[in-house]
Structure 1
C-alpha cells in the first residue's frame, strides 16, 4: 500500500538520466513509491556534475568497475531484469530529448529505460535511436530530436535541478527536500509517512552543522 502525502506538501519530482542504471532500478520499483503525483524530469547528469564541480564515477577506474558490479548486484537482489548496454558511459542526449518530447510520460520513460538496461540496447547510434523511437510509438521523434525547443527544454530541466540543489541521479524532491540514490526509497517512504521527522531536533542539528575551518590540518 502506498503512503499518503500531506495536503500541504510541495510538488514532488523525480530527476533521472538514462545513463544511470540506478535511475532504471528505482523506476522499476515504482509500485513502492509514495502515492504522490511525481513529475518525471529528464536531466543531463554530466551537466549537473560539471555545474557542481564533481567528477563522474567512470573517471576513476576502480569506481567504474564497482559501480557496474553494484548495479548488477542490486538488480539481482531486487529481482529486476538487468543487462548492461554495449558501452558505458554512452551519450544519452537523444534518449533524454525523447523523454522531454514525451513530457516525462512514465510509460515512455520506462520503455526507454528497459530498452537500454533490460535489453542492453544502444540508444545513442542512429540505428539504435531509430529503433527506440519505433519501440515507444514515437517514430516522428527521430526528426524532431534536434529541434531547438526540445534541446532548450532539456537545458531548462538541468537549470531546475540545480536550482533545487540536485547534484546527481536518481533524485526525489519532496517538500523541497532532496533524496538521492536508488537506496533512498525507504527514507522517502519514511518521510512521506512521518513528515515531522524532518523537524526532529537531531535532524535539524545535523542539517545545520558548521564546516571545519578551511585551514584545518587534516593530515
Structure 2
C-alpha cells in the first residue's frame, strides 16, 4: 500500500482549495494518508520563503488574483480577506493530531472543515467552539479539542522539523516515497504517479 505523507497548514488557502481530492485519489489507489499539520509560517524562513505579509507587492497581487480564480474553477466559495486570518492555527492542528490518534471519524472531512471555516465561513479556528464543531462534523468526539494538548504540541513541532528535513517548503505538500508534490494544483500529478503513469 502506498503511503502519502500530507503536510498541511490549517490556515492555508491552498489547503482549503485542495478540498477532498486527496482523499478521493488515495481511495482510488488504495493509498494510506498520514496527516501532518505543521506551522507553515515557521517553515518559510527556514526553507527560503516569506510569509505573505513580507512578500513583494507583485507576489501578493498575483496571489489576490490567483486564489479567487482557483476557487471559481473548483466551484468553492472563497473570501480573499477572511475576518479571522491570520489567527492561531495551532489548536486546530492539535485537534487533527488528536483525531488521527483516536480514529473513528473522517480526517479528510475534518481538515476541509477547518480550512473551510477560515476561507469560506468567517470563523476563527483559534476558538475552541469552532474546532469542536469541525470535529463533530467529521464524526469525531468534540472533546478531542481539549485532549492530548501536550502530545499535540509536541507532534506539531516534530512535524515542522520533519517537513524541513524532507524538503517541504509550502502547503499543501504531498510526499510518496522519494517523490514530492507541492500545491493543490499538483494533485493530478500525484494521481498519475500513484497510477504508475508519471
Equivalent residue, structure 2, for 1:22 = 14
Could you say which residue in structure 2 is the equivalent of 1:211?
none
Corresponding residue for 1:59?
A: 54
Larger Rg: 1
Structure 1 residues 181, 62: closer, same or farther in 2, change over 3 A? same
Q: TM-score, normalised by structure 2?
A: 0.80
1:72, CA displacement in angstroms?
1.3
1:140-182 Cα deviation digits (max 9, x unpaired): 345447x322200111111222222211110110122110011
Segments ≥4 residues shifted beyond 4 Å = none
- C-alpha separation between the residues in 2 aligned to 1:82 and 1:29? 17
Aligned partner of 2:104 in structure 1 is: none
Paired positions, count: 184
Once residues 22 and 159 of structure 1 are traced to their aligned partners in structure 2, the CA distance between those partners, rounded to angstroms, is 21
User: 2:196 corresponds to which residue?
Assistant: 194
> The residue matched to 2:175 in structure 1 has which SS?
strand
Counterpart in 1 of 2:77?
Answer: 81
1:95 is aligned to 92
Measure how far apart 1:91 and its partner are. 2.5
**Which range moves more in the overlay, 110-119 or 173-182?**
110-119
Q: Residues of 2 paired with 1:142 and 1:189: CA distance?
A: 32
Return the alpha-carbon distance in structure 2 between the equivalents of residues 82 and 74 of structure 1: 10
Which of 12, 25, 29 pairs up with 1:33?
25
Segments of structure 2 that go 5 or more residues without pairing to the other structure are 102-106
SS at match of 1:136: helix
**Preserved contact between residue 171 and residue 181 of structure 1 (Cα < 8 Å):** yes
Q: Which structure 1 segments of 5+ residues have no match?
A: 1-6, 198-219
CA distance in 2, matches of 1:132, 1:115: 9
Structure having the higher helix fraction is 2
1:140 to 140, 143, 146: 143
CA 1:191–1:135 in structure 2 vs 1: closer, same or farther (change >3 Å)?
closer
Q: CA deviation at 1:42?
A: 0.8
Change (3 A) 1:31 1:144: closer
Q: 2:37 aligns with which of 21, 26, 42?
A: 42
